[in-house]
Amino acid sequence: MFIRNHWYVALWSKELTRELSWRTIMNERIALYRTESGSPVALQDSCPHRNLPLSKGKLIGDIVQCGYHGLEFNSSGACTKAPGLECPPTWAKVRSYPVVERNNWIYVWMGDAQLADESLIPSVFGNMSDPDWHCVIGDIHVKGGYRLIVDNLLDLSHLAYVHGTTTGNPEVAELADLQTDATDESVRITRMMRDVVPAPAYKYYGNYSENVDRWQVTNYYAPSYILINNGSYAVSDRPATPVDAATERCHWGFQVYHAITPVTENQTIDHWCVALEQHMLKPEDRELWESQMINVLREDHEVYEAQQEWIEMRPENNNDVLTRGALPGDRALIAARQIQRRLHNLEARSAGGKAENAALATSR
Ligand code: FES
Ligand SMILES: [Fe+2]
């Protein structure tokens, strides 16, 4: 179930160069490159002549030359040269996608280009480019649908069972007070744990020798962006006025960002970043922290692919409404699935309306 009228991360800024590359988003293969002045370009990766991917061709200045029979296209997808012809034929053009570079990511608009609106890009990933923050980044290529990843990040009770050697312990599942808030296109779930034993990573990096107050706040921005704010302090340092768990990091904590890009119905690339303020990590601990965070993502990856295998055997288990019931911690992910369903239906209705109008116009 795709939602097309949105921005999706195609790749990291540092991956986009003067070499032609390509990515698949929602079953569409897209050729990507930078112009000589550094601007990102995204074109349909298929030559309109005989379908060779344009990314197999050559970049000449800002022009892409197809590697089969030499048609040339500019960065807006118009054909500028057809070898042997005075004028390029009218059919020789490729789709050009709106593209924006921000927060170390290259975002591509996958829907109706007239609706592309940069203000829809979540503005919460700014710490990725702040030198006061230490970032571990990566991609995981998941053989699983993108909604499994959103589900995972909206129910962090799983840390107790999936990440028990680092960020999780039983308290995360058993002693959290939950609050879920949803708007038309976002969901926030706050998990507050008071006076709990710190999980192994908290104890080590936060240097705690007593119980802590700890919080996790997951923010979901439809269709596929996540910001998680994690924070903690020792119970003896508990401030007189309650903290704002959505932004506060206090003594020790970190943020997690995910840009989750559907490749096909059953494949996804999760572009992730774990960021914490430089002073929260001793230089000698960096390597250990980075390897632990990479491993945390690997642990989740295994879960997604095992779920997907089961779903492919029994597709009816991939419903929005869980077939065998829900737990209290599922409230947020069910709210997210309702948003996804609503956005999808809205698009389907408006596409249906447009098709109907076009049919009426041709029948007149
Ligand atoms: S396939 Fe591209 S020019 Fe023929
Ligand atoms: Fe996880």
For 46-91, how does the pLDDT look when each residue is reduced to its tens digit (9 = 90+)?
Answer: 999 999 999 999 999 999 999 999 999 999 999 999 999 999 999 9
Q: Could you tell me what percent of the chain has a pLDDT over 90?
A: 83
* CATH code, 226: 3.90.380.10
Ligand nearest to the CA of 154: 2
Say whether both 139 and 265 belong to one domain. Answer: yes
Q: Which of 74, 92, 120 is the C-terminal boundary of a domain?
A: 120
Say whether both 14 and 135 belong to one domain. Answer: no
- With a 6 Å cutoff on the Cβ, whether 50 touches ligand 1 is yes
Question: How many A from CA of 359 to the centre of ligand 2?
Answer: 48
Q: Taking residues 36-55, what's their average pLDDT?
A: 98
Residue 125 lies in a domain: no
| pLDDT computed for residue 126 by the predictor | 83
Token digits for 265? 């119905």
Q: Strand order in 58-60's β-sheet? A: 58-60, 63-65, 72-73, 79-81
User: What pTM, to 2 d.p., does this model score?
Assistant: 0.93
Residue 339 pLDDT > 60 = yes
Q: Taking residues 271-299, what's their average pLDDT?
A: 96
Q: Taking residues 306-334, what's their average pLDDT?
A: 81
| pLDDT computed for residue 353 by the predictor | 62
Residue 290 lies in a domain: yes
Say whether both 316 and 179 belong to one domain. Answer: yes
Place of tokens 């370009």: 41
- With a 6 Å cutoff on the Cβ, whether 99 touches ligand 1 is no
Residue 170 lies in a domain: yes
Lowest mean pLDDT among 13-22, 26-35, 122-131: 122-131
| pLDDT computed for residue 239 by the predictor | 83
Say whether both 137 and 195 belong to one domain. Answer: yes
Q: Taking residues 148-152, what's their average pLDDT?
A: 96
Question: How many A from CA of 48 to the centre of ligand 1?
Answer: 7
| pLDDT computed for residue 121 by the predictor | 95
Length of the chain: 364
Residue 359 lies in a domain: no
Confidence band, pLDDT 50/70/90 cuts, at residue 249: low
Residue 93: strand pairing partners: 78
Say whether both 318 and 177 belong to one domain. Answer: yes
**CA 289 vs CA 139, 159, 285: distances in Å:** 17, 16, 6
Q: Please, are residues 145 and 265 in contact by the beta-carbon 8 Å criterion?
A: yes
Please classify residue 248 by burial: count the beta carbons closer than 10 Å to its beta carbon, then call 0-12 exposed, 13-18 middle and 19+ buried: middle
Question: How many A from CA of 163 to the centre of ligand 2?
Answer: 7
- With a 6 Å cutoff on the Cβ, whether 47 touches ligand 1 is yes
Dihedral, CA atoms, 195, 199, 201, 202, nearest 10 degrees? 0
Q: Taking residues 29-56, what's their average pLDDT?
A: 98
| pLDDT computed for residue 316 by the predictor | 74
Q: What is the DSSP letter of 359?
A: H
What distance in Å separates the CA atoms of residue 346 and residue 289, rounded to the nearest whole number?
A: 43
Ligand nearest to the CA of 91: 1
Q: Taking residues 210-215, what's their average pLDDT?
A: 95
* CATH code, 106: 2.102.10.10
Give residue 36's domain range: 7-120
Atom of ligand 1 nearest to the CA of 51: 1
Tell me which of 45, 49, 79, 93 to substitute to probe ligand 1's pocket, judged by most ligand atoms within 8 Å of the beta carbon. Answer: 49
Token digits for 112? 């109706």
3-state secondary structure of 244: coil
Name the domain count of the chain.
Answer: 2
E-assigned strands of 46-158? 58-60, 63-65, 72-73, 79-81, 99-102, 105-109, 133-142
| pLDDT computed for residue 320 by the predictor | 65
Q: What is the DSSP letter of 55?
A: G
Residue 244 lies in a domain: yes
Say whether both 177 and 273 belong to one domain. Answer: yes
- With a 6 Å cutoff on the Cβ, whether 64 touches ligand 1 is no
**Averaged pLDDT of the chain:** 93
Q: Output the residue whose Cα is nearest ligand 1's atom 3.
A: 69
